[in-house]
Structure 1
């Protein structure tokens, strides 16, 4: 049972790189793009933590106390990694606040501190993926306003290059493993694993999006978008890396797990991935509308937010607009003066850049 739980934890990692590339090429709406992108990031982070927990359980007598400790560790690892990432992101913002005379070090500061957040989290046995995600979110919000346009371009394209190189190396390694590893083929296990991955992916996506739509989402996620989100749950680098990290001595079915993972990765990447673009066109997924001037959009957005906030104040209801206003006030009054230099806080500059 524990072997199956370990395999389930690693095979649940989705890697929709091909889907996101197709989304960019076709120009789907930003809501769908970021739903898939965000889900893949957080899914991978949670999967790695869950995988480590299940591997830790393997080979020992499991009691209710150990299960409780495991879930407590799951929460502490996630929260601790988030805290480390946010702190490192703030350190990046403070460092780049004073680099206007030495612009050449800005890309190094952004990339170096982001990697340091990953290493720090792994050093204390927290999730490095969650840490670097949180660090990146804080850096985008505050540090990117401090650096020059050239530094921003350097960071952007160097990161894209690293991403492409990493994916290439992983799939080269996948090909080597496919040829050199000893494989154990179990038709029932392979077929059922692939089928259940697909079935439960659809069940989970449709179930969760239904809840989100019912709770009160303004822009509903329609059925076509739900189908593409479910169908785009490809398995890739993360699942392959996790199965290779298993110990062949510790897990009797290691070779069968490797074979099954390779089959699922190849099937989802080449079969599902290749058919995503025709499906996007066939289902007539909403595309991103051409937007007008940034200043007009900013004024309209602020106007609508303030009208909604006024309505909430009159009715005595504290909804999302109220709490959004509170967070923006904290951001403008305390965080931005601390983390950004003055030119980065200029509203007109921010709108037009």
Structure 2
């Protein structure tokens, strides 16, 4: 009988994963303590570097088969917590003041971006710019243009939070990039159907656009329904406070899964559900439950972000090793064309829509802010997950698309992400104002919140609505100011 033995294979996967997260936590702590590092590099760069380190450890231990990036895992387990936490953050007055602008950039901007990139790529392919062996049909170009239009807000928003840019610009980028991911996934699914068709007829295009609106509005209805039902349930938890966080999280996640089950937009569903919950359910639950929900959502969202970028770092290692061994080749002309088109199309759309929207906006989007919005179109895990989902039998150029997607992701994260902070400072972007409200502003805000609370109380049959929270906060602030 052995007195001591090592059975590493029994705990190999959770041991490496937990160790990686612990190392990542320590690295993030050191990263933010070292001001000279955090002032130069965005946090996403650190996460990718740790992912490269993890990849080396995984190959050394022989556990590479356990650490494989599965798009299904991403969309079912990693993405929903990030979207839910982001939806809670959308409960801000600046969001509703800029809602029309956000929807224009997120919906029309994403669609226009797709239909700018795809035809140009197709023309380049017809001209032989991608080589004689390239097999890019127009439907495949549309599919690639749809998936590469997904914008990842993590790196830019982390920089915005650190240097305290004004709320209008912050929520414009935040809301646009959040809803952009939802629209991208819906477009991707529509183009995926077009790829397998031998011939795309006008009626099929019409059906595709109809399905686009059905999937989008279906997700909205499912999210609003689950959000309302979850908020209603929290009215009866006065004596069982411990289940309140469980009701909130399970209700939101169930809305995402239900939408995916009926082939609606799960991202749109959980965003709408989260907004309703933050408006109404948070007013019903206890202060401790509210703290638990907010802190847990931030913790899980941050952890999922870390895991996603860890896997991207591992994919970077695999990509470099495949290039060194010659098992994978890069179609450089396709990569450069795609990258250039992504940049030019985004800048064109931002400038065009800003010019049109500024005609009706009280607060204009300045040229400096337009440049940051265009430059902040970083790509991330959504793009990579969608390209991984492609079937090589229906999309023969999957490897070429995957290579281009990886190159675009790493270019935008490292080059644009690192240069974002100096650009914000060089362009002298307006910062967030920290002044205290005047007595007149505080009284007007307090009066408006009380009126809204009274209206909601009448509508909800004597039960206080979401504005009661705002009333309490405003009242406390007003008393403190006095």
TM-score class, shorter-chain normalisation, is 0.7 to 0.9
How far, CA to CA, are the matches of 1:128 and 1:343 in structure 2? Answer: 24
Cα 1:106–1:31 shift into 2, 3 Å: same
- Give the C-alpha shift of residue 149 in structure 1: 2.2
- Give the C-alpha shift of residue 150 in structure 1: 2.0
* Residue in 2 that maps onto 1:299: 443
Taking the TM superposition and a 5 Å limit, the aligned residue runs for 1:236-275 are 236-275=380-419
Which of 177, 188, 192 is the matching residue for 2:333? 188
Taking the TM superposition and a 5 Å limit, the aligned residue runs for 1:89-168 are 89-168=227-306
| Bigger radius of gyration | 2
**Structure 2 unpaired stretches of 5+:** 1-137, 320-326, 477-482
Contact kept, 8 Å, 2:453 with 2:468, in 1: the verdict is no
How far, CA to CA, are the matches of 1:170 and 1:346 in structure 2? Answer: 34
Q: Secondary structure at the match of 1:129?
A: helix
How far, CA to CA, are the matches of 2:466 and 2:444 in structure 1? Answer: 24
Contact kept, 8 Å, 1:294 with 1:352, in 2: the verdict is no
- Give the C-alpha shift of residue 248 in structure 1: 2.1
Cα 1:331–1:67 shift into 2, 3 Å: farther
Aligned length: 330
How far, CA to CA, are the matches of 2:285 and 2:439 in structure 1? Answer: 22
How far, CA to CA, are the matches of 2:405 and 2:217 in structure 1? Answer: 30
Which of 12, 16, 25 is the matching residue for 2:149? 12
Q: CA RMSD in A?
A: 2.5
Q: Secondary structure at the match of 1:142?
A: helix
Cα 1:219–1:269 shift into 2, 3 Å: same
* Residue in 2 that maps onto 1:225: 369
- Give the C-alpha shift of residue 329 in structure 1: 8.5
Cα 1:143–1:282 shift into 2, 3 Å: same
Contact kept, 8 Å, 1:28 with 1:287, in 2: the verdict is yes
**Structure 1 unpaired stretches of 5+:** 306-324
* Residue in 1 that maps onto 2:220: 82
Cα 1:342–1:9 shift into 2, 3 Å: closer
* Residue in 2 that maps onto 1:30: 167
How far, CA to CA, are the matches of 1:329 and 1:221 in structure 2? Answer: 35
Which of 174, 177, 183 is the matching residue for 2:312? 174
Q: Report the TM-score, using the length of structure 1 for normalisation.
A: 0.87
How far, CA to CA, are the matches of 1:162 and 1:348 in structure 2? Answer: 29
Cα 1:212–1:329 shift into 2, 3 Å: farther
How far, CA to CA, are the matches of 1:7 and 1:184 in structure 2? Answer: 18
Which of 185, 190, 198 is the matching residue for 1:53? 190
Cα 1:198–1:54 shift into 2, 3 Å: same
How far, CA to CA, are the matches of 1:330 and 1:342 in structure 2? Answer: 9
What's the CA shift string for 1:170-192, capped at 9, x where partnerless?
22222333344653311110001
Cα 1:68–1:329 shift into 2, 3 Å: farther
